[in-house]
Amino acid sequence: MTATIVRKNNSPVLSDGSLDQGLVLDSYGALITKNEVEKWKMDGRLYFYNRGNTTTAVTFTNTAILYTRPSQVIRVPTGKTIIPVRLGVYVETAAGVINEGVWIACNNDVGAGTATGPVITTRGNLRGDKASEQGACLIYITYTGDITTTGTNPVEFARFTQPYVSAIGSVVKDTWELDIATFSGMPILVGPASLILIVGGGTALTGFTTTVWAEFNSADLGF
């Protein structure tokens, strides 16, 4: 006999504020569970932003880690909550003595400052039929001046360092990645909030970024 899998099409919020875990039975009565992140993707909750494209890297202009001048900010509006799922910085060229990448979560909106944005290209939804949807968050990049408002209760939840460049002058390449499946320190940002990336080095780096997050209505989560 061929097994038939019964699939749930959404993830309703239960009366206690927790999410339905998507438990289903096949035709034999065997219990099947869906990975939580895959469930978010099926529900159309996963959004992404890629900085740089194809073979064209971007230049991270900071030559030091300056908390007031981020390389990238995801601004979470009031009424929305996000959970980072995958965060990546991919260094293509580097010449500094120390190169660093820092991820910070703040529970306020740091504002646009003198940044470029909001960015509306190279972003979208990871569910194919919703690919053009961009979600409620605003993305700003390359702050050439200070942010509008100092971050409130900033939490530096991840830092990557590249302590040297080869003495023979060869280019150092590196990948700085966090994934919710293996990193338990991903923050929950309840809007208004800011997810900040700062990339800096003794000499400006070039490379790419990938940011994937799950987006929810805060009220649906009981926040």
Using pLDDT thresholds of 50, 70 and 90, give the confidence band for residue 78: very high
More confident of the two residues 137 and 56: 137
Alpha-carbon span 177 to 38, nearest angstrom: 19
Using pLDDT thresholds of 50, 70 and 90, give the confidence band for residue 167: very low
Specify which of 18-32, 132-146, 182-196, 202-216 reaches the highest per-range mean pLDDT.
Answer: 182-196
Residue 39 lies in a domain: no
In this predicted structure, the answer to whether residue 76 has a pLDDT above a threshold of 90 is yes
In this predicted structure, the answer to whether residue 1 has a pLDDT above a threshold of 70 is no
Residue 75 lies in a domain: yes
Which positions ≥6 away from 98 have C-beta within 8 Å? 161, 162, 163, 164, 201, 202
Residue 131 lies in a domain: yes
Shared-domain flag, residues 21 and 50: no
Shared-domain flag, residues 117 and 77: yes
Shared-domain flag, residues 8 and 65: no
Shared-domain flag, residues 24 and 55: no
Shared-domain flag, residues 26 and 50: no
Shared-domain flag, residues 112 and 85: yes
pLDDT of residue 6: 42
Average pLDDT, the chain: 81
In this predicted structure, the answer to whether residue 141 has a pLDDT above a threshold of 80 is yes
Residue 85 lies in a domain: yes
Using pLDDT thresholds of 50, 70 and 90, give the confidence band for residue 214: very high
Residue 82 lies in a domain: yes
* Mean predicted confidence (pLDDT) in 103-131: 88
Shared-domain flag, residues 116 and 184: yes
Strand runs labelled E in 12-150: 24-25, 31-32, 46-51, 58-60, 72-76, 80-93, 99-106, 123-125, 138-141
pLDDT digits (tens, 9 = 90+) for 37-59: 888 999 999 999 999 887 788 88
- The residue range of the domain holding 1 is 1-34
Alpha-carbon span 28 to 155, nearest angstrom: 47
> Lowest-confidence range among 58-67, 90-99, 109-118?
90-99
Residue 53 lies in a domain: yes
Domain at 177, CATH number: 2.60.120
Shared-domain flag, residues 50 and 14: no
Residue 127 lies in a domain: yes
Shared-domain flag, residues 183 and 121: yes
Number of domains in the chain: 2
Shared-domain flag, residues 172 and 214: yes
Alpha-carbon span 221 to 81, nearest angstrom: 8
Alpha-carbon span 186 to 36, nearest angstrom: 15
Residue 40 lies in a domain: no
Shared-domain flag, residues 56 and 15: no
CB 26 within 8 A of CB 6: yes
Specify which of 82-96, 175-189, 197-211 reaches the highest per-range mean pLDDT.
Answer: 175-189
pLDDT of residue 196: 95
pLDDT of residue 151: 86
Alpha-carbon span 136 to 22, nearest angstrom: 25
- For CA atoms 39, 42, 48, 53, give the dihedral sign: positive
Shared-domain flag, residues 1 and 110: no
